[in-house]
């Protein structure tokens, strides 16, 4: 069973390891990190007196240490969350590839994925597009990236506004979500979501369970 630390034990351990928790109440700092998705949610357990006490998993100490070190490098919360999401995705992929099921069925699974990909492409459910970093090198299509950026839609939200003054009704808008955005199944930008000279809204069809990083760019 994974080791758990009460909030008091967690704070004391962090201080013993030299993790900087700022000048304010460290409890409030940890609650904020949990709210924006940098730390996992606490598990409530009863103590001997019957009081419910929040507990963090032991591995969250290493996560907290990483967060504070990244902050000292000048990274903001969105950038740290994006980096953590990438690390988690790599770990999930690595664990999946190491599983005995994948090793024993790699050929069958690869063939199935290719078949599904081809069928979805033919049905135009998915499309193959060039990465935006190469789009300006296309000799057959003169496409210019007007603006781009990264953001995230907060947990529990369905809509976020992107400030992009170069946005017009004729502008082509591209959005790519990185990571899990369940229970939502799709996101989009409709014509009614575009405000010329100001920006545009990205809408999800359901509130997300976690902060979801987004890449966006606009072109002519």
Residue 103: what pLDDT? 65
User: Last residue of some domain: 128, 145, 169?
Assistant: 128
Do residue 151 and residue 211 come from a single domain?
A: yes
Give φ, ψ of 46 to 5 degrees. Answer: -85, 135
Question: 204 and 151, same structural domain?
Answer: yes
Q: Same domain for 70 and 10?
A: yes
Question: In terms of domains, do 9 and 56 share one?
Answer: yes
- The string of pLDDT tens digits covering residues 75-131 is 999 999 988 888 888 777 777 767 776 666 776 777 777 777 766 665 555 555 443
Give pLDDT, residue 2: 73
Give me the residue label for tokens 């980096």: 83
Q: Domain of 143: which CATH number?
A: 2.60.40
Other C-beta atoms lying within 10 Å of the C-beta of residue 11: 20
Q: What's the mean per-residue pLDDT of the chain?
A: 82
pLDDT recorded at residue 56: 92
More confidently predicted of 170 and 200: 200
Residue 123 has a pLDDT of: 59
> DSSP 3-state assignment of 98?
helix
Residue 44 is predicted with a pLDDT of: 87
Q: What is the pLDDT of residue 20?
A: 84
> CB of 74 within 8 A of CB of 67?
no
Whether a cis peptide bond, with omega within 30° of 0, leads into 166 is no
Query: Which tens digit of pLDDT belongs to each residue from 140-191?
Result: 345 578 888 889 999 999 999 999 999 988 888 999 888 888 888 889 998 8
Listed residues 93, 109, 128: the one ending a domain? 128
Shared-domain flag, residues 176 and 207: yes
Structural domain span for residue 92: 76-128
Say yes or no: 67 and 80 in one domain.
no
Residue that terminates a domain, selected from 61, 93, 128:
128
Residues 122 and 148 grouped into a single domain? no
Predicted local confidence at residue 160, as pLDDT: 93
Is residue 15 domain-shared with residue 64, that is, in the same domain?
A: yes
pLDDT in tens, 44-63: 887 788 888 889 999 999 99
Structural domain total, the chain: 3
| Least confident stretch, 29-33, 116-120, 196-200, 208-212 | 116-120
- Residue 55 gets which letter from DSSP? E
Tell me, yes or no, whether 8 and 54 share the same domain.
yes
pLDDT of 213 above 60: yes
**Residue 136: per-residue pLDDT:** 34
Sign of the dihedral through C-alpha 114, 120, 126, 132 = positive
- Do 148 and 164 share a structural domain? yes
Residues 186 and 215 in one domain: yes
Domain match, 96 and 56 both: no
């Amino acid at each position: 069973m994974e080791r758990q630390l009460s909030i008091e034990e967690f704070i004391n351990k962090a201080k013993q390891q030299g993790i900087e928790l700022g000048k304010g109440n460290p409890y409030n700092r940890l609650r904020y990190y949990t709210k924006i998705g940098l730390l996992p949610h606490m598990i409530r357990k009863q103590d001997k007196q019957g009081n419910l006490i929040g507990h963090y998993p032991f591995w969250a100490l290493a996560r907290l240490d990483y967060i504070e070190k990244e902050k000292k490098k000048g990274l903001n919360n969105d950038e740290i969350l994006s980096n953590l999401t990438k690390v988690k995705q790599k770990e999930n992929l690595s664990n999946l590839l190491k599983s005995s099921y994948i090793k024993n069925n790699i050929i069958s699974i690869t063939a199935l994925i290719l078949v599904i990909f081809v069928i979805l492409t033919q049905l135009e459910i998915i499309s193959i597009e060039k990465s935006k970093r190469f789009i300006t090198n296309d000799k057959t299509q003169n496409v210019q990236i007007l603006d781009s950026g990264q953001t995230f839609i907060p947990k529990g939200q369905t809509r976020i506004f992107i400030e992009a003054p170069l946005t017009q009704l004729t502008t082509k808008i591209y959005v790519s979500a990185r990571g899990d955005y369940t229970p939502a199944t799709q996101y989009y930008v409709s014509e009614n979501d575009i405000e010329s000279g100001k920006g545009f809204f990205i809408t999800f069809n359901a509130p997300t369970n976690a902060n979801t990083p987004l890449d966006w760019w606009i072109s002519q």
